[in-house]
Structure 1
């Protein structure tokens, strides 16, 4: 998951507000993905990863969409966003575990491609892959 236009948010509101935004987004993610086996991590500057090892496909999609909606519902103003007047996220969702023998890096690259697919389609959305294929171009 990636906070949409986060650099512009920092440029407009400052790094302290940016840090507060990151904390509020992280709080939402923790509240939505609350199973004891779920893992939530900040994966980069404005990127987060959620691992849901026991969730079925329907639950994963519901959780991703609930995260997206809940973050927008916080109504954090974002006048420099290119897709909304408030802070939003884009997400790439991989519905299957990595194939035995594939690398974690190839799995992450697959999810990253999905994230950029969501961004290229206008942001503030979830892009989903039906299955993981490390050989996919």
Structure 2
């Protein structure tokens, strides 16, 4: 399956923090009978990249999830509504096949946008400090 409904320029409208370069992030999505946790591969003010497949979690363009919870270490907790915009089968370096989905935040509040900005700046500072330690 390879579906994408967002134009390329929309997907690049915001700076994306690749989570494998900083701290691992996940989000919690409430389903009717349980809360599922799923790994994130990137984060931006525009949305998130989700990696993985969880039975019962419908990852198709147009599907919306409300009250998604993302804990941003040393910044706070982001609660947001998302809409799945793109879904693609991928093969990881270790040969495992999985699903990569892109989700757009819906009507983020200004404080939520600021929380994301603050977290991304902190994470980038840490990443750069690791790459270029003070002499």
TM-score norm. by structure 2 comes to 0.27
Normalized per residue, the structure richer in helix is 1
Q: Which has the higher strand share?
A: 2
